Structure 1
């Protein structure tokens, strides 16, 4: 959180008019006191990677709501709606149960953001294999 607050202050000092990322609005959303989780940043203010990171955060909170945790049904809906080009749609409850158990590291029957990021990392890593050229055989 300290790093994020530092990044927020650096952005605002360098480009106060270009950046509309509001860490405090996001924090208020987490506490249930505001309707804006994260404001959108203007294109020149953030890189493509940063924009993608914001999209991941916003998508997680879109499906987790004010509770900031995903239940099984939330995770299934998120995967089926947002990741169906990278992950086959989840139709079987056994598949969902296994995935959920793998992600739910603390055993609280909910997926928090850190546990969700593990899914994003696994899927991204697996997709990377498709883009890495195979080593040529001698």
Structure 2
């Protein structure tokens, strides 16, 4: 039976490949759809309407319009860190009340 972290890894891989389909990379449009569906609050909370463009530019190391699985992991790791930081601050604020 897979551990929780192994299950999370499997879900991350399957999510990437579901949106990349058989290309094994994400285009900017694939990334936009993925972010809209998998991180629904992310774009809603962005003041910058070009957030997906900026993410793609930051992560597309080869500048070929293709986001690799490794780059996708960088995005998910960054978002996970941000969510963790937010949660820690939120929990501390709740504890002070």
TM-score by length of 2: 0.81
Q: Corresponding residue for 2:43? A: 88
Structure 2: distance between partners of 1:88 and 1:65? 23
**Which has more helix, going by share of residues?**
2
- Secondary structure class of the residue paired with 1:69: coil
Query: How many aligned residue pairs are there?
Result: 90
What's the CA shift for 1:132?
A: 2.4
Moved over 3 A (4+): 89-92
- 5+ residue gaps, structure 2: 93-97
1:72, 1:84 → 2: CA distance? 17
Correspondence 1:116 to 2:72: yes
Question: Which structure has the higher relative contact order (CA within 8 Å, separation 6+)?
Answer: 2
1:35-74 aligned at under 5 Å gives the runs 45-74=1-30
Q: Hey, what's the Cα distance between the residues in 2 that align with 1:83 and 1:56? A: 13
Query: Which blocks of at least 5 consecutive residues in structure 1 are unaligned?
Result: 1-44
How far did residue 102 of structure 1 move?
A: 0.5
Give the aligned CA root-mean-square deviation in angstroms.
2.3
In 2: Cα distance, 1:82 partner to 1:96 partner:
13
Q: In 1, are the aligned partners of 2:43 and 2:51 still within 8 Å (CA)? A: no
Structure with the greater alpha carbon radius of gyration: 1
Give per-residue Cα distances to partners, 1:111-131, cap 9 Å, x unaligned: 010000000010000011123
